[in-house]
Amino acid sequence: MKIGIPRALLYYKNEKLWTKFFDELGIDYIISPETTKETIENGSKYAIDETCLPIKIFLGHIDYLKDKCDYIFLPRIERAQDRETCLNFRAQYDLVKNAFRDYNLNILFYNDMGHKEHKEEKAFKKLCKYLHIKKSIGKYAYKIAKQTQMYYEMFRSENQENILKSTKKPKVLILAHAYNIGDKYIGEPIIHMLEKLGVQPIIAEYFDHKKCVKESNKVTKTLPWSYNRHLVGALELYKDAVDGAVILTTYPCGPDSMCNDMMVRDYKDIPLITLTIDAQDGSAGLETRLESFTDILNYKRNNNNE
C-alpha cells in the first residue's frame, strides 16, 4: 500500500507528525513535489473562479498524486488551540471527492474535530483500526510521531527567538499562514527578496502556537480562526522586537481579508505592508514594493540611532 501526501495546506503544519507516524508503521508514502506554476495551472482546472490560491495549489498536488498511490491522505482538522479553522480544512475530503469524481480516488483520513479530550489521539486510533494495525503498535507510532512534531516546533521557535536577539540586521516579521510561507511558489521568493535587501526575515508561523493564540486575546475577543489568531498574537508579542512587518496573503481569502484589515488599523506604530499573491502574477512585481519598504525601515533605524 502506498499513501500519497499532498505538499499543501496542513502538510506545512503537520509534516513531522504525519511522516513519522507512517515511518513508524512501515507504511510507504509519497509526498508530491514542491509547487510550481504548472501545479497551479493544473489545480485551477478543478477549481471554480472564487477559490483561494492555496486550494488551487492543493488541487494541483492532488492532480499529481492521483495515479501514483493507493490512497490520498486528507485529514479533516476542524479546530486548533480550541479555535476554529477555515472551513476549507473541513471540506477537503468532499472537495476532492467532487472535483476528482471521474477518478474514483481512495481517500485516507482522520477527523480531528477538537471538541473532546485527546481528540487527535482518538482520531489516530480510529485511523489505525481502519488500517488493521494492532492498537498498541498504533498508539506507540502516534506517541513517537507527536513527540517528533513537538520537538521540531520547539526547536523552530527557539531558533526564531535566538535570531531575533542576536541579529544586527533590520528585522521584518512575516505574517503568513504555514502553507503560504512554507510554499516554494508563495513564501520562498519573498524570503529571498528580503534577504537580498539585507533584512532578516522573522517567521511568525514558527513561534509557539499556544503562546501566540493566547496573546491574541489581548487584541480581539471575537476573531474565530485559530491560524489567524496565531498571526495576530505573534504581531502583538513581537511588535517591539522587529523593525517592521509584512502581511503575506493569498487571493482571495475570507479570514485574511478581515484579520489583515484589523492588523493594519490596530498597529499604526509599526511599519506594515500587505503583499497579496494571486494565481496569475505570483510574486512578480513585489520586489520594488519591498525595496521601498526596507528603505523606510532603514531610514527609521538611522534616525533612531542619531
Residues within the interface to ligand SF4 (CB under 6 A)? 52, 54-55, 86, 88, 177, 250, 253-256
The minimum distance between CB 84 and ligand SF4, in angstroms, equals 11
The minimum distance between CB 240 and ligand SF4, in angstroms, equals 28
Q: Which is nearer to ligand SF4, 63 or 256 (CB)?
A: 256
Q: Which is nearer to ligand SF4, 55 or 128 (CB)?
A: 55
Q: Which is nearer to ligand SF4, 244 or 255 (CB)?
A: 255
DSSP three-state, residue 214? helix
The minimum distance between CB 229 and ligand SF4, in angstroms, equals 12
The minimum distance between CB 141 and ligand SF4, in angstroms, equals 28
Sign of CA dihedral 16, 17, 19, 25: positive
CA 303 to mean position of chain CA atoms: 36
Report the alpha-carbon distance of residue 240 to residue 90 in Å, rounded. 36
The minimum distance between CB 246 and ligand SF4, in angstroms, equals 16
Q: Which is nearer to ligand SF4, 172 or 253 (CB)?
A: 253
Report the alpha-carbon distance of residue 259 to residue 224 in Å, rounded. 10
Q: Are 53 and 183 in contact (CB under 8 A)?
A: no
Report the alpha-carbon distance of residue 57 to residue 47 in Å, rounded. 10
The minimum distance between CB 178 and ligand SF4, in angstroms, equals 10
Q: Which is nearer to ligand SF4, 52 or 248 (CB)?
A: 52
Q: How many CB atoms lie within 10 A of CB 1?
A: 11
Q: Which is nearer to ligand SF4, 88 or 148 (CB)?
A: 88
The minimum distance between CB 257 and ligand SF4, in angstroms, equals 9
Q: Are 109 and 93 in contact (CB under 8 A)?
A: yes
Q: Which is nearer to ligand SF4, 253 or 273 (CB)?
A: 253
Task: For residue 271, give the amino acid letter.
Answer: P
Q: How many CB atoms lie within 10 A of CB 93?
A: 15
> Strand 171-175 and strand 244-250: pairing?
parallel
HSE (side-chain half, CA atoms, 13 Å) at 199: 28
Nearest to 7 by CA among 45, 58, 46: 58
